[in-house]
Structure formats: structure tokens, C-alpha cells
A and B are shown apart, each in its own frame.
Chain A
């Protein structure tokens, strides 16, 4: 089956610094990738939809200048959390959609645990 990798799996950073998270589709081309955030004991919250070669579409309430998304190739999307604060500590998960597959299933990366101190 389709595999999506995420790097790093865990990161601890100091308040005010920036962190970049990579999401890669390993064996398929993903024109669309999704970035989710999940706080403890809560469901997935879609942050943004990343389309290759164009600007990301952000969900309401998500600051696009704080959460920078770049989808430069069909296999790589990156999320940069700029000027991170403790409230940004969360589990960030990416997923990729393989349009050649049926039924447009999303394949999830293993997630990145971000802790901001």
C-alpha cells in the first residue's frame, strides 16, 4: 500500500524559534496533501490543504503567516511553524491523497509530536 513518511517524529524547540516538518509520499505522487493538528483527547483538525505548485488553502482560524506550507513537488510538502509558542505544542499529522487510487483514500504519515518549551 501507499506509504507516507513524516520527519521528524518528535521535536522539542524553544519558544520563538521555527520548526519545519516534512511530509513525503514514498511510492505515489500526491497532488494534494493535508495537514492536521490533534490536541490530546481531541479529534483531527484540518489546518490546511496543500496543492502541488499552488498556494495552500487554510481552514478558518489557522494563521497562514504562522503555519507556512510549501508543496514544491508531487512527493513533498513541508509545514513550518514560525515563532512557535507553547500553545502550538501538538501532534501534527500529514496525509496524502492518491488520485489514481479508489476511493480517493487519504494515507496518513506517522505524525510529528511538537513540544514548545
Chain B
């Protein structure tokens, strides 16, 4: 079956760095997405990885290792507004997104 695993909840301190991990097992692979979702709102796109390596975009970076079925989202210089759920999703061979359950990130002052 298809499976996406990520931690349920993480807590970090304002100004610090946090890494949210995601492991996956899917039928085929056409890329991995990270989305941010604030409570009561729709997800917003953060990053896309289809090749191994690190993609950096401002305070956010995303890493992918296809051989390990592993990705992480790295958030630097955390701000209170970064408190949200972070969703990992893999696009399978049918170009359908398989979603993880999301990681709720709590930022403390």
C-alpha cells in the first residue's frame, strides 16, 4: 500500500531551526511536495522536490533522498507566524497526490 509518515506534532522556539521529516512508500514517484496549512485555511504550496538534494527558498529548505524514500522540510529563523501544520505529499505514478497526516508545528516565544 501507499504510505506517508511524518510526526504528528513538534514544538520549537522562535528564532530557532526546526526539521520536519517525511518518509514515504508509494507506487511510483513524480515528486514530493510540502504544503503549509494554517488552521481553518486551505494548504499553500511551499516546495517541490523531484531530484535528490536540497532546494532552498528563503527561510525554508526541502531535501529529498529518493533511494531512502525520505524528505525533510527545514525552517530557519522561526517566526510565530510559522505556527501551522506542514503537509508532506507525494505524487505517484498516476500524478495523484498521496498525503501525509501533517505535522502540527507549535512555535513558542
Q: Which A residues are within 8 Å of any B CB, using their own CB?
A: 34, 42-46, 49, 91, 93, 97, 103-111, 113
Contacts and interface: CB of A to CB of B under 8 A. Distances in A.
A93 B42 contact: yes
Given A108-B42, A110-B41, A43 B48 contact: no
Nearest to A1: B45
A34 B100 CA distance: 17
B42 A110 contact: yes
B28 to A, nearest CB: 13
Given A103-B31, A103-B48, A104-B30, A109 B42 contact: yes
Interface in B30-86: 30-31, 33, 40-45, 48, 50
Contact of B91 (A42, A46, A104): A104
Nearest to A34: B97
25 contacts: A42-B101, A43-B87, A43-B99, A43-B101, A44-B43, A44-B87, A44-B99, A45-B99, A46-B97, A49-B96, A91-B40, A93-B43, A97-B95, A103-B91, A104-B30, A104-B31, A104-B91, A104-B95, A105-B45, A107-B45, A108-B44, A110-B41, A110-B42, A111-B40, A111-B42
A108 B32 CA distance: 16
A111 B41 CA distance: 7
A106 B98 CA distance: 12
Contacts of A107: 45
A110 B31 CA distance: 24
B23 to A, nearest CB: 15
A59 to B, nearest CB: 10
Q: Lowest 9 A-B CB distances belong to which pairs? A: A108-B42, A43-B101, A111-B42, A43-B102, A44-B99, A93-B42, A110-B42, A103-B31, A43-B99
Nearest to A4: B42
Given A43-B87, A49-B96, A103 B30 contact: yes
Nearest to A49: B96
A52 to B, nearest CB: 16
